[in-house]
Structure formats: C-alpha cells, structure tokens
Amino acid sequence: MSKRWEVRLIGTGGQGIVTASIILAVAALREGNNVVQSQNYGPEVRGGYSTAYVIASESSILYPKIDLPNVLLVMTSTDYEKYLHEIDEDGILIMNGEQGSEPLPDNVYFIPITNIAHDELERPITANIVCVGAVVGLTDMVSEAAALAAVEEHVPAKAVKINRRAFILGVRAAREALAKREASATS
Amino acid sequence: MAEAKLLSGNDACVQGALAAGVRFFAGYPITPSTEIANAFARELPRRGGIFMQMEDEIASMGAIIGASCTGTKAVTATSGPGFSLMQENIGYAAIAEIPCVIINVMRYGPSTGLPTSPSQGDFMQTRWGSHGDRPVIVIAPYTAREAYRETGRAVNLSETYRVPVIVLMDEILGHLRERVEFRDEDLVQEISRKGPEPGKPFLPYENTEDGVPPFADFGTGYRYHITGLIHDETGFPTNNPVEVDTIMRRVNGKLDMHIRDIERTRFVDADDAEILIVAFGSVARSAHEVVRTLRNEGKAVGMVRPVTVWPFPDEDIRTAVAGKKAVIVPEMNLGQMVREVERVVAGAVPVHALNRIDGLLVTPHEIRDLVEDLL
C-alpha cells in the first residue's frame, strides 16, 4: 500500500455499513497499515442517513477525516451522477444496483449488492459483507485473505459460512465488473 | 508491549481508567460518551467493580464522590448537557478534596445542540463551570493511544492531589477507531491517595507542607466530617475569615505547587518555527498535519499542543512564542483557548483565532491557508 486509501460507505442506519468499515480497517491494520475508521449518523437508531469511512496509510494518520474519498460506495441510490463530484479525481464510485444500458464513466461501477444478498444468499442482512467484497475486488487496498479473515472475526460464529460466501460473491461481482470494463475498453 | 489493535477513543479511556485501578463507574448515557458507559458496564463486574446507571448526571457525580470516599477509584462520563449538570458537584469535590475523574466527550452546544457533532465549546466550562474559585486539572488527549495513557494519568493525578480531574475528549476522538500499538511509555501506573500516618493525630484538612492533606477512606476507623461548606482543618464549617482565607488559598494553590508534575505540553517543530499553531484535542491533529505538510515544503511552521490544558501551561506557551512572527489558535468554538494564549502572549506576538462552529472539524486546508497568508 503506497497511497492513502480513503473509503466512504453511504447507507441507512441498520444496514451494517459501520461493521463493513470496521472489517476493512482491521484487514488494513493486519497488513501493517495505520488506520482510522469512523462514522457519521443522525440521532435515529435505524433508517436514518448513515455514512462510515476508513482511512488506511503506511504513514501516520493525523487528520482523521475524509474530504473527497478515493473509493465511495453508495448503498441507497443508483443516481451515480449525484455522487461523481463527491470523489477524488482518481477515485472510483461503486453503486448498488444493476447497470443500465447507457455507457458509464470509467470510474463508476454498478454491483448488485442488495440483489446478491437477497437472491443468491437469501440473507439480506449479509449485504454489508457483499460491500466489503466489492471494495476488495475493485481495489488493491487490502488482500482478499486479510479481508476474509477480518470478516470471519466480525460476524457471529453461526453465521461465518454465509458471510464468507457473501464476501466471495462480492469479490466475484467486482471482478466481473472490472473484466467487463476492460473488455469494452479494448473492443 | 502488545500487538497493534483497532481501538476507539472512548474505549481507550475505559482501558486507561481500568489500568489505573478504577473500580466504580456511575453515569447517565449521553451521545457521544455512551460507549464509555457501555464498556464500563461490561468490564467492571468482571473485575469485582461496580457499574451504576443513575437517574441523571447530578446523581452520577454524587455517586462517584461517595464511592471515592471509600477509597475506590471512581469515574463518570458525559457530554454537553450532562456536563453542565455536573458542575455543582464538581465544585463540591474540589472543595471537599475528593478524588474523582469526569470524562467529558464534547459535543456541539449550547443546550441539546447537535448531539452527534463535535465541538470544543466546553474548554472554559471545564475551568470555570462551578460557582466560586475551585481548582481542577483538565487533560485533552488527541489520539486513542493518548486517551488511554492520559485517562490513566488523570486517575493518578486526582488521587495524588485530591482534586477532580476532567478528561476533555470530543466527538471525533471519542467515536473514531484507530490503530493503537502500546509501547512501554504507555504503561499506566497505579497511584493511590496518601492516607493518615498511623499513630499520628489525624486532621482531615490539615494545612500540610505539600498542600495535600492525607485522606482517610471511609470504613478505615477514622470519624470525620466532609462538607461543601467552607471548613477548617477538622472538616467542620467555619466562617472565621483567617481560616476561610487559609483553606481557600491552600485548595486553590496546591496545583501550582506541583505544576511541573501536572503540566504536559507537546511541541512539534516549534523551536525554529516562524508561525506557531497552538491547538488541543482533535483540532491539533489537523494542525499537526499542516506542520508535517509545510515542513516537507521547507516552511517554518510548528505546533504547541497543551495536553494538560488546565492549569493552562503559561510558561510553556510564553517560552515557545518568543520571537515568533505570529501565533494561530484554531478551535471548534468561537474563541476560548485563544483568550488564554492572548493573556500569556500579552501582545508580544500577533495572535490569530481560527474558529469553526458549523459542527465540523477545522481542516488542515484552512489552517494552511492562514499560515501561508502570515508567512
């Protein structure tokens, strides 16, 4: 890891994005990086606006906030244009949903996170772990092994298996999106 | 000392307090300090300690004062509105000289304010929030690692000097989790208050040479009186002007006698700096970032960071600012610590306040802009 990774996750309270951000932070920490993780939320317990973020860097992290992240994952909207100005110029945007027919900017990816959790895993609660997989699959922020170990550490013992699958499906969907992008770039 | 782990500022406070021997917590949950109560509720029973959820913050202070009278190291934690309610009993603990630690995780005020947003609006309240002149030590960490060590130190200073100690956190530091790798210097000692000397007559508020009378824990065989009324050396009320003057000067002066032990100020590239930033808490992280960035560009910027913010480190600031071109004091309030800096600097160097009150942290960017204007 040579750069300062700044990852922001946007969702609603109760979706588990704080846990997802903690998992990414622990994985980065285990790989020897400095990390800061935090979250912003309103007074509501569930249903309110919620964002979580992770900063990971080889050098010490003093300023503990993110201005423009280099990875932004949005769980709650498919309107990617609204978020394009909320990322760094070399940043990527990950939207939760199926990609439409219109061409996308190079730095925007659609991953059907909710659908994977709902239809393939039949456990909507695992969507946050699919998120972790998506971020890991689309970036080289942390290794898959470190992320998977962190996932296993942060889910209940009886749910390790399903969350392991959720992570793997998230990574796979991300890799497919990347491959599709490369194929269309070369065609 | 130990492997790296992810630790939040709030959890770090709890671990530091436990390492210093805290075995009692009473409190009333309030954002953004609630995780402190949660962690004490989990950890204290495992260690034979007691966690009590109280009906409000007035009672919480009363409970930790009572617990401390038995010799048990006691802590409470709160934020804005709760901290205001605690002021009466903080004054009581100060004049009755009962050790206790209050962790105040600052949120945006006044009143209910912005419950989930950070602030440094309680800087002056920590010092002057109770009626009457009262001593207090206030310590403001800026990382989770420091929150651990400094909360431990807060407990020890409270025991050593029989004074309430406030750990001044803010929402940002309380709620962030970060990599913490404890080293040997983070080891928290366990220091307990000094007790009466066996065989010697016991005066609970004795005018001792070091300014700190011995404390007889309740239940150890000593009978004496504790009161919020101004008292003489026996602990009973007095309105004799000579006795009143004596105890008030001792209680309010005892910290000055030990100031080198209490003060802790950190300097970052301050010696040869032309522009000096004075900052505490989370804002000091932004300031430190600016120093790191601008030093890489060869610009002479430095930072002074009071860790013990009260008593204010007059000497450290006076020495550090001598000969500088300008001093910048960034704060998440309308200008509180800047008044102390101005008092100490006394016109010798221009002092610039940089204030943010929109519920967000002062950014390195805006500090940098001001530094570059002044260079």
Per-residue pLDDT of chain A (187 residues; tens, 9 = 90+): 568 999 999 998 889 999 999 999 999 999 999 999 999 876 665 667 789 999 999 999 999 999 899 999 999 988 999 999 999 999 999 999 998 888 899 999 999 999 999 999 999 999 999 999 999 999 999 999 999 999 999 999 999 999 999 999 999 999 999 999 888 877 6
Q: Among the three residues B160, B186, B212, which one is the final residue of a domain in this structure?
A: B186
Check A65 against B363: CB less than 8 A apart. Answer: yes
Asked if residue B63 lies in contact with residue B40, where contact means CB atoms within 8 angstroms, the answer is: no
- Pick from B31, B177, B285: which is nearest to A22 by CB? B177
Same domain, B179 and B300: no
Q: Which of B243, B167, B259, B156 is nearest to B206 (CA)?
A: B243
Check A29 against B6: CB less than 8 A apart. Answer: yes
Percent with pLDDT over 90 in chain A: 82
Residue of B nearest to A57 (CA): B179
Rg, chain B, Cα only = 21
pLDDT of residue A9: 97
Instruction: Kindly state whether residue B295 falls inside one of the protein's structural domains.
Output: yes
Q: Compute the distance between CA of residue B139 and CA of residue B148 in angstroms, rounded to an integer.
A: 12
A residues 134..153 contacting B (CB < 8 A): none
Residue B30 C-alpha, separation from nearest chain A C-alpha, in angstroms: 11
Asked if residue B30 lies in contact with residue B103, where contact means CB atoms within 8 angstroms, the answer is: no
Residue B360 C-alpha, separation from nearest chain A C-alpha, in angstroms: 10
Check B4 against A29: CB less than 8 A apart. Answer: yes
The tokens 């317990």 sit on which residue? Answer: A45
Report the SS3 class of residue A110: strand
Per-residue pLDDT of chain B (375 residues; tens, 9 = 90+): 568 999 999 999 999 999 999 999 999 999 999 999 999 999 999 999 999 999 999 999 999 999 999 999 999 999 999 999 999 999 999 999 999 999 999 999 999 999 999 999 999 999 999 999 999 999 999 999 999 999 999 999 999 999 999 999 999 999 999 999 999 999 999 999 999 999 999 999 999 999 999 999 999 999 999 999 999 999 999 999 999 999 999 999 999 999 999 999 999 999 999 999 999 999 999 999 999 999 999 999 999 999 999 999 999 999 999 999 999 999 999 999 999 999 999 999 999 999 999 999 999 999 999 999 999
Residue A112 corresponds to which tokens in the numbers above?
A: 């059907």
Asked if residue B209 lies in contact with residue B61, where contact means CB atoms within 8 angstroms, the answer is: no
Q: What angle do CA A109, A110, A113 make, to 5 degrees?
A: 130
Number of domains in chain B: 2
Q: Compute the distance between CA of residue B336 and CA of residue B329 in angstroms, rounded to an integer.
A: 9
Same domain, B141 and B270: no
Residue A38 C-alpha, separation from nearest chain B C-alpha, in angstroms: 5
Q: Among the three residues B186, B201, B220, which one is the final residue of a domain in this structure?
A: B186
A residues 96..115 contacting B (CB < 8 A): none
Q: Which of B129, B137, B95, B91 is nearest to B110 (CA)?
A: B129
Same domain, B180 and B45: yes
Residue A55 C-alpha, separation from nearest chain B C-alpha, in angstroms: 9
Check A34 against B175: CB less than 8 A apart. Answer: no
Q: Is A81 exposed, middle or buried (0-12, 13-18, 19+ CB in 10 A)?
A: exposed
Residue A2 corresponds to which tokens in the numbers above?
A: 């040579």
Residue B83 corresponds to which tokens in the numbers above?
A: 């901290």
Instruction: Kindly state whether residue B205 falls inside one of the protein's structural domains.
Output: no
Asked if residue B165 lies in contact with residue B154, where contact means CB atoms within 8 angstroms, the answer is: yes
The neighbouring-strand residues paired with B106 are B170
Count CB pairs under 8 A between chains A and B.
Answer: 58
Spell out the residues 6+ positions from residue B314 whose beta carbon is closer than 8 angstroms to its own.
B344
Q: What is the CATH number of the domain that holds B359?
A: 3.40.50.920
Residue of B nearest to A21 (CA): B177
- The dihedral built from the CA positions of residue B108, A22, B282 and B371, taken in this order, carries a sign that is negative
Q: Among the three residues B159, B186, B213, which one is the final residue of a domain in this structure?
A: B186
pLDDT of residue B28: 98
The neighbouring-strand residues paired with B103 are B77, B167
Q: What is the CATH number of the domain that holds B143?
A: 3.40.50.970
Residue B181 corresponds to which tokens in the numbers above?
A: 């790798």
Q: Compute the distance between CA of residue B333 and CA of residue B118 in angstroms, rounded to an integer.
A: 10
The neighbouring-strand residues paired with B328 are B277, B352
- The dihedral built from the CA positions of residue A150, B144, B148 and A44, taken in this order, carries a sign that is negative
Residue B43 corresponds to which tokens in the numbers above?
A: 């950890």
User: Percentages helix, strand, coil for chain B, rounded to the nearest 5?
Assistant: 40, 20, 40
Which pLDDT tens digit goes with each residue over B205-237? 999 999 999 999 999 999 999 999 999 999 999
A37 interaction partners in chain B (CB closer than 8 Å)? 6, 176-178
Check A43 against B116: CB less than 8 A apart. Answer: yes
A67 to chain B, any CB pair closer than 8 A? The answer is yes
A22 to chain B, any CB pair closer than 8 A? The answer is yes
The neighbouring-strand residues paired with B24 are B50, B74
Instruction: Kindly state whether residue B226 falls inside one of the protein's structural domains.
Output: no
Q: Compute the distance between CA of residue A167 and CA of residue B278 in angstroms, rounded to an integer.
A: 45
A34 interaction partners in chain B (CB closer than 8 Å)? 178-179
Calculate the alpha carbon distances from B281 to B109, B139, B307, B351 in Å.
17, 9, 8, 19
Same domain, B157 and B280: no
- Pick from A33, A38, A63: which is nearest to B364 by CB? A63
- Enumerate chain B positions whose Cβ falls within 8 A of a Cβ in A: 4-6, 31, 115-116, 172, 175-179, 282, 285-286, 288-289, 292, 361, 363-365
Report chain B's mean pLDDT, rounded to a whole number. 97
pLDDT of residue B286: 98
Residue B115 corresponds to which tokens in the numbers above?
A: 């419950």
Check B176 against A62: CB less than 8 A apart. Answer: no
Q: Compute the distance between CA of residue A138 and CA of residue B72 in angstroms, rounded to an integer.
A: 53
Which pLDDT tens digit goes with each residue over A65-108? 998 999 999 999 889 999 999 999 999 999 999 988 888 999 99
Domain hosting B39: range is 5-186
Q: Cβ of B93: how many Cβ atoms within 10 Å?
A: 27
- Pick from B6, B175, B292: which is nearest to A26 by CB? B6
Domain spans, chain A: 5-186
**What CATH number does the domain located at A5-186 have?**
3.40.920.10
Same domain, B174 and B297: no
B29 interaction partners in chain A (CB closer than 8 Å)? none
Asked if residue B357 lies in contact with residue B334, where contact means CB atoms within 8 angstroms, the answer is: yes
